[in-house]
Amino acid sequence: MGIWALMDCKPLISKLLPLLLFANFVGTAVQALAAEVRGTVTVEYQGMFTTGANVQSQPVSVALLPAQGQQVASRHTRSHQVEIIGNRMSPAFLTVKKGDSIRFVNRDGVYHEIFSLSSGKSWSSRLDRVDGSRASSPGLVLDVPGTTHFFCRIHSKSYARIDVVDSPYLETVMSGHAFHFSGLASGRWKLRLAAPAAETRWVEVSAMTSPPPLVLRLMSHGGGQGNGKLNAQAGVEQLYHD
């Protein structure tokens, strides 16, 4: 009787088996991409003075790259914009994915001549006044990982630093705030930590399910002043740490 009952169920089993196998596959795939990397990163200053809130409100770039050949999520390239307002570039610090593009937009009533400084090919663009027909630069594709510095030939305090990394996992947080990457393959990864006033740091980390938060620090040798102000003389120079 048991055998006949089993034979009667055979058509049902043949229909359910592919569904069960697919569900198991999906569950395994989801579990494989359920790893995370999270934590906080703080910029610490070595100087003669106590730093305040203004110093600590510095942007920190956090990029995550695979260390064991893991597959990474695909992401379309993006176009970023740096505005020039009051002879200053904003944002003055930016991290983008390899292949993204950047353009400069003049919001001032004066001309600007932007040029780049990096280990790659040099680039320059002359920007008309805000109401001119060429107040925006052509798009510049950033396809070489590394750091590129941008200056204005006319205004010495106009500066921006753009870091290019070969990863879609990018976050910019304020010093002392949390970062969080999810949907990762488990295993070893590398964190790249960078800030305008600090040295770039690489940290090997493990991606796992529900990981304990990391507590990371970046060290700046620029120091600070009382009342939470950065040293005015070191303003642009602090952005050169690589």
What are the tens digits of pLDDT across the range 207-225? Answer: 999 999 999 999 986 654 4
**What is the model's pLDDT at position 71?**
81
β-bridge pairing 88-90 and 79-85: antiparallel
When pLDDT is cut at 50, 70 and 90, the band that residue 226 belongs to is very low
Rounded average pLDDT over 33-58: 76
pTM, full prediction? 0.76
**What is the model's pLDDT at position 119?**
82
In one-letter notation, the amino acid at residue 123 is: W
Top pLDDT among 199 and 48 is at: 199
Task: Tell me: pLDDT of 23 over 80.
Answer: no
Give the percent of the chain with pLDDT over 70: 73
pLDDT tens-digit map of 121-135? 899 999 999 988 899
Tokens of 219: 């060290």
Burial of 81 (C-beta count, 10 Å sphere; 0-12/13-18/19+)? middle
- 5 pairs with which residues across the strands? none
pLDDT tens-digit map of 168-221? 999 999 999 999 999 999 999 999 999 988 889 999 999 999 999 999 999 986
Domains in the chain: ranges and CATH? 35-72+167-242 (2.60.40.1120), 76-166 (2.60.40.420)
Residue written as token pair 């940290």:
203
Task: Tell me: pLDDT of 48 over 60.
Answer: no
Lowest mean pLDDT among 54-58, 66-70, 192-196, 223-227: 223-227
- Answer whether the bond into residue 211 is a cis peptide, omega within 30°: no
Q: In the sheet where 159-165 sits, what is the strand order?
A: 93-97, 159-165, 146-152, 112-117, 124-127
Alpha carbon distance 95, 114 (integer Å): 19
Q: What is the DSSP string of 76-124?
A: ---EEEEEEETTEEESSEEEEETT-EEEEEE-SSS-EEEEEESSS---E
- Cα radius of gyration (the chain): 25
Is-contact 81 103, C-beta < 8 A?
yes
Tokens of 240: 């050169």
Average pLDDT of the residues of the chain: 82
